[in-house]
Amino acid sequence: MSSQLTILGIETSCDETAAAVVTRAADGHGEILGEVVLSQLEEHSAYGGVVPEIAARAHVEALDSLISEALLRSGRTLADVDAIAATSGPGLIGGLIVGLMTGKAIARATGKPLYAVNHLEGHALTARLTDGIAFPYLMLLVSGGHTQLVLVRDVDDYERWGTTIDDALGEAFDKTAKLLGLPYPGGPAVERMAKRGNAERFTFPRPLVGEARLDFSFSGLKTAVRQAAQSIEPVTEQDIADICASFQRAVSRTLKDRIGRGLERFRALYPDVATPALVVAGGVAANAELRATLQALCDKNRFRFIAPPLALCTDNAAMIAWAGLERMAVGLSADDLSVAPRSRWPLDKAAATLLGSGKRGAKA
Ligand code: KG4
Ligand code: ZN
């Protein structure tokens, strides 16, 4: 397909309601014309996590006006867009239904094609929108619901090299924060405390470190944190800071080992790729220590380290729009309006479901 394409993207898989209008030029260059993201953080914070029913209702209430707002910001009308892209999985089923049904309704009313987009493909392809990088590359997705290392071979062509066998990394941050009495979401709170802490004080487990497989495991880490806190009760502010710093250190060492092996595997598989790239996505990518660890690892292995702006690392509709555009551009067909939302939908069609992985299955 050669001409410029414009698409309306819709994202409602978890606790962000989002809409965006994005274009893709014939040369592959993308541009976000208008976008808006409404976070439901406040609605859920009292519960210490995302409540599916509350999320679905909040999407229903906000989505129509967010779509109008995104169109307004883009200076386009529905008549100007070539297609609609809506997240249809994985995620919370109530939210997915809201976004996908809205996408279908617009597609039906306007006669435009509908692309039912995998949320993970949105994360995986974002770096091509922001940095224009070429296939193949490696993507590390670290969010509240997923921890995956994925080989991105092409649009619609992914190989999952590693995933968590229990908790997602963001979930480990959130649970650690909760048991230390820190606010939700836990990641930023743990990071803040860690700045004042002694990372050497506690030696927490570094699960699966040294193993050839590239999977992750974080539930033991959370248990170790609980035991450490119990062993020094009553826990002071400084103790909490030390635990947070030690926790973050254990996570960063674990990532260094796992991802380091991934980079080596990539290099062996693609010796001719001159400057390979590691891309990060997901809310945990905001963490400065983890970023610094990954940056240093990439420098050492002569990989480019690409961290898109945080607003595009976390859930948003521009990435869904972009994934739709990429699918259109390579000639993948639009979806039938009978397409159903899927709470589970692995990117890698051949990957086996690992016991316990993504059991929360809610966030990506
Ligand atoms: O991608 P995201 O915004 O949402 C979904 O998971 O859908 O990721 C949220 C996760 C939460 O678990 C949060 O605690 C974590 O990202 N997070 C962080 C930081 N900021 C957010 N984890 C570690 N350090 C941070 N600075
Ligand atoms: Zn996500």
Going edge to edge, which strands form the sheet with 277-281? 157-163, 147-154, 137-142, 277-281, 304-306
Give the C-alpha separation, 266 to 20, whole Å: 33
- Chain center to CA of 191: 19
> Any residues with CB less than 8 A from the CB of 213 and at least 6 apart, and which?
162
Query: For position 356, what pLDDT does the model report?
Result: 44
| CA dist 198 → 179, 202, 203 (Å) | 19, 8, 11
My answer on whether 173 and 193 are in the same domain is yes
**Mutate which of 45, 92, 142, 173 to test ligand 1's pocket (most atoms within 8 Å of Cβ)?**
173
My answer on whether 153 and 105 are in the same domain is no
Residues touching ligand 1 (Cβ under 6 Å) are 14, 143-145, 170-171, 173-174, 185-188, 191, 282-284, 286-287, 314-315, 363-364
**Mutate which of 38, 143, 148, 294 to test ligand 1's pocket (most atoms within 8 Å of Cβ)?**
143
180 within some domain = yes
Query: For position 354, what pLDDT does the model report?
Result: 57
Give the domain range for residue 253: 137-307
Paired with 281 in beta bridges are: 141
59 touches 17 (CB < 8 A): yes
Ion ligand 2: residues, Cβ under 5 Å = 143, 315, 364
Query: For position 177, what pLDDT does the model report?
Result: 96
361 within some domain = no
My answer on whether 65 and 119 are in the same domain is yes
209 within some domain = yes
Q: Give me the tens of pLDDT residue by residue for the chain, a chain 364 residues long.
A: 458 999 999 999 999 999 999 999 999 999 999 999 999 888 888 887 889 999 999 999 999 999 999 999 999 999 999 999 999 999 999 999 999 999 999 999 999 999 999 999 999 999 999 999 999 999 999 999 999 999 999 999 999 999 999 999 999 999 999 999 999 889 999 999 999 999 999 999 998 989 999 999 999 999 999 999 999 999 999 999 999 999 999 999 999 999 999 999 999 999 999 999 999 999 999 999 999 999 999 999 999 999 999 999 999 999 999 999 999 999 999 999 999 999 999 999 887 665 444 444 334 4
In angstroms, what is the span from residue 40 Cα to ligand 1's centroid?
Answer: 14
343 within some domain = no
174 within some domain = yes
Give the C-alpha separation, 48 to 38, whole Å: 19
Instruction: Provide the domain count of the chain.
Output: 2
- Report the alpha-carbon angle 249-125-166, nearest 5: 40
My answer on whether 108 and 18 are in the same domain is yes
The whole-model pTM stands at 0.94
Angle between helices 186-194 and 237-269 (to 10 degrees): 110
177 within some domain = yes
CATH of residue 180: 3.30.420.40
> Which residue's CA is the nearest one to ligand 1's atom 6?
144
64 within some domain = yes
My answer on whether 86 and 161 are in the same domain is no
97 within some domain = yes
